[in-house]
């Protein structure tokens, strides 16, 4: 059984999906409307894990939380998991390029594949793919849109000393 919780944030309505006491997906609806739950196995419910996730997201959007401490479950290839683990090590308010991440995981020629792994990240913000940028600090490729990516980067820089 999967459970979902919605919360208002400065970037839109965040939906947090839990399965077996682990966060498995984060969605952002930028139109500030709840999306209808189509899959019948997802139930809107307050669970301890979802309540804690909401608390931590509120702290993040208040500028006081720099890292998330939530039980998560990711689905992807071993390469994707390597990328996502590398993203978790990028400090708050800092950025790395796709090429830097590729080198860190010992696949120096795989910058494009790193970009694809970022695009398939089901846990944006928790796994901070918004902190990965292109060469020359260009904003490229963010599944939630470049406007949200820029907002998150600016927000973190503004709140680094909170």
Q: Which tens digit of pLDDT belongs to each residue from 51-65? A: 999 999 999 999 999
Q: Is 46 helix (H, G, I), strand (E, B) or coil?
A: coil
Asked if 126 and 114 count as a contact pair (C-beta separation under 8 A), the reply is no
**Please, what sign has the CA dihedral across residues 137, 120, 75, 55?**
positive
For the record, the structure tokens of 106 come out as 């010992």
For the record, the structure tokens of 57 come out as 């997201």
Share of the chain above pLDDT 90, in %: 79
Convert the pLDDT of each residue in 55-94 to its tens digit: 999 999 999 999 999 999 999 999 999 999 999 999 999 9
| pTM of the model as a whole | 0.91
Just give the CATH number of 78-158. Answer: 1.10.10.10
Active-site pick, 4, 101, 129, 132: 129
129 is catalytic: yes
């Amino acid at each position: 059984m999967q459970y979902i919780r919605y919360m208002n944030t400065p970037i839109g309505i965040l939906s947090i999906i839990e399965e077996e006491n682990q966060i498995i997906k984060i969605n952002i609806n930028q139109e500030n409307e709840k999306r209808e739950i189509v899959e019948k196995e997802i139930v809107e419910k307050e669970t301890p894990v979802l309540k804690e996730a909401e608390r931590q997201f509120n702290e993040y959007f208040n500028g006081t939380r720099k890292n998330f401490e939530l039980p998560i479950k990711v689905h992807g290839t071993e390469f994707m998991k390597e990328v996502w683990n590398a993203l978790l090590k990028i400090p708050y308010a800092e950025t790395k390029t796709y090429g830097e991440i590729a080198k860190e995981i010992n696949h120096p020629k795989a910058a494009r594949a790193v970009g694809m792994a970022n695009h398939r990240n089901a846990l944006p913000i928790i796994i901070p793919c918004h902190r990965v940028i292109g060469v020359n600090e260009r904003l490229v490729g963010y599944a939630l849109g470049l406007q949200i990516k820029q907002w998150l980067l600016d927000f973190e820089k503004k709140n680094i000393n909170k």
